[in-house]
Chain A
Amino acid sequence: MRERHINAILLGGLLATALAAWGLDQPFTITLATKVAILALAGVGLNITLGLGGMISLGHAAFFGIGGYAMGILASHAQNYTPLMEAPLLIEGTNSMPVIWLVAIAASALAALVIGALSLRTTGAYFIMVTLAFGQMLYYFAISWPAYGGEDGLSIYVRNGFPGLNTLDPIQFFGLCFVLLCLVLLFVARLGRAPFGLALTAARQVPARVEAVGLSPYRLQLVAFVLSGAITGLAGALFADLNRFVSPAMFSWQTSGEIMVFVILGGVARLCGPVAGAALFILLEHWLGALSEFWHIYLGALLLIVVLFARGGLIGQIAGREAAHD
């Protein structure tokens, strides 16, 4: 089966699940589908660095968390009718999703620029450790920042609004997240085939060659890291809105690990790998979680099997070794 057919089935299946649940009046299932879309989006972000760029970032929770707190901070000020800042200029909170998304994207892109600029000076295990360290720094910062809930996190009582939609209606919120996921997937698909994608994937394989033809692997990787962080940041803002709650857990290294698990389960460098991975993860959490609270044991076993025997992940197994480009 060709990869693009699998992608269509995956996205179509996710949409059909949500619509069927809506028809059968099962809001909880819609919420699960929404969670899949949002977590997949976070994974699509990571897949740019991990899959295309070959940079193993164990710090993507930093961007997920920044996106989440961008939502939490803006919405809590709007909720309490207190301005974010009065001097030198007045900045009010907001509960408008588009504004929150833009702030989440800008803030996480900026953070990715700083974190990437520093951590891309290292490679291999050091790169993993430096990105992990940045994530943990933000985690402890969030815990010790009492203004926004500290360890307890922040609750937002009403979901933020989107012009013309009732976002409290699960199917409408799902629709928003699903459309965003598809738009980002379209962008990443184009990115992979564009000059940037060619140069980035070459920089993963033969950095010396990329330099010798007059391009800078460092710049390519830094730009990829920023795009990646911005997408994961957007997912963070949506995740916070799904739960109407933000907490330092979004910054934890377990979150970074889970985002990486989505990518690896689904298929590294495969466009819809994170969609398959996140769907599988949520299904396992839902089914096995009902059987035992130690369901992570089974997840661990599955991950081992994928890493040892099925390197291409779920999509790689079905689509075969067909390249991510043609």
Chain B
Amino acid sequence: MTEPVLSVRNLEKSFGALKATDGVSLDLRPGEIHALIGPNGAGKSTLIGQIAGNIRPDRGEVRFAGRDVTGLPTGARARMGLGRTFQISALAMEHTVLQNVVLGALAARGGAMRFWRPVLQDGALLEQAEAALGRVGLSEHTAARTAELSHGQRRQLEVAVALALRPRAFLMDEPMAGLGAEGSKQLTGFLDGLRAEAPILLVEHDMDAVFALADRISVLVYGRVIATGTAEEIRASREVREAYLGEEDA
């Protein structure tokens, strides 16, 4: 079996008496989309935060690209190639679409401590940013101010910013949130192709997208992973149906 790109071992995190993460282990293998689902309050965001580096776990280990990154801050993990999209778009609204994507490519290409040459005259950087915008279908909006974009376009831009980093793995927190049926379908098609480039750990509420995309699904309930398996296995699991899917069927 191939070495996982990202793996989490026995992760624990409590807030007071609440165990938000209770001994979670999971991994992300090359070429796969691993979906993380669970009802509201299951601890998905806390888990994502610990993987990204914003939240320090109480116990356990996060490994990325063959290294223990548990003690590393968010920025260092990103520079190692962990690309992230946010549940609520985190974009610089005053900046243009292009500037947002250039920002995403900056760390990998020379860093931000350059004070003289205009960033929009850096050919290599621009090329990388424009390529990322082209792939999500925002080429026509490069010069638009981000605040002028529709919600759906902002979700696309969110993905483009992460792409510009040329990551080794993606951490996507509800990329479909707020998208209409058409938008969801488009993004689903895009992510489907993206997995060959870099595996995706996908947190998503849109079950159609999850079942269409995921090679494996992990179900998180009250901070624990109660099942991991293929879409078929998860659908068939009685435990999962009771804990989670059952609610939707009812």
List residues of A whose CB falls within 8 A of some B CB.
187, 190-191, 193-202, 205-206, 208-216, 220, 223, 323, 325
From known contacts A195-B110, A201-B94, A215-B112, infer whether A210 and B117 are also in contact, taking CB-CB under 8 Å: no
Q: Interface size of B by Cβ–Cβ distance < 8 Å?
A: 40
Flag whether B120 is at the interface (Cβ < 8 A): yes
A206, B92: Cα distance in complex, Å: 6
Q: How many A-B residue pairs have CB under 8 A?
A: 106
A198 pairs with B93, CB closer than 8 A = no
A220 pairs with B90, CB closer than 8 A = no
Interface string of B100-137 (1 = CB under 8 A from A): 10111011101111111111101000000000000000
* Minimum Cβ distance to chain B for residue A265 (Å): 21
A159, B114: Cα distance in complex, Å: 37
- Chain A contact residues, majority secondary structure: helix
A195 pairs with B119, CB closer than 8 A = yes
Residues of chain A contacted by B224 (CB below 8 angstroms): none
B103 pairs with A194, CB closer than 8 A = no
Closest chain B residue, CB of each to CB of A205: B92
A194 pairs with B114, CB closer than 8 A = yes
List residues of B whose CB falls within 8 A of some A CB.
52, 54, 73-76, 78-79, 84, 86, 90-95, 99-100, 102-104, 106-108, 110-120, 122, 145, 161, 164-165
Closest chain B residue, CB of each to CB of A199: B112
A209, B93: Cα distance in complex, Å: 12
From known contacts A190-B118, A198-B106, A214-B165, infer whether A206 and B91 are also in contact, taking CB-CB under 8 Å: yes
Residues of chain A contacted by B54 (CB below 8 angstroms): 208, 211
B90 pairs with A198, CB closer than 8 A = no
Q: Which one of B78, B92, B119 contacts A212 once the chains associate, using CB atoms below 8 Å?
A: B78
Q: Give me 20 other A-B pairs in contact (C-beta within 8 A), A194-B115, A202-B100, A214-B76 excluded.
A: A190-B117, A191-B115, A194-B116, A194-B117, A194-B119, A196-B113, A198-B119, A202-B103, A205-B92, A205-B94, A209-B91, A212-B78, A212-B90, A213-B106, A213-B107, A213-B165, A214-B78, A215-B75, A323-B145, A325-B95
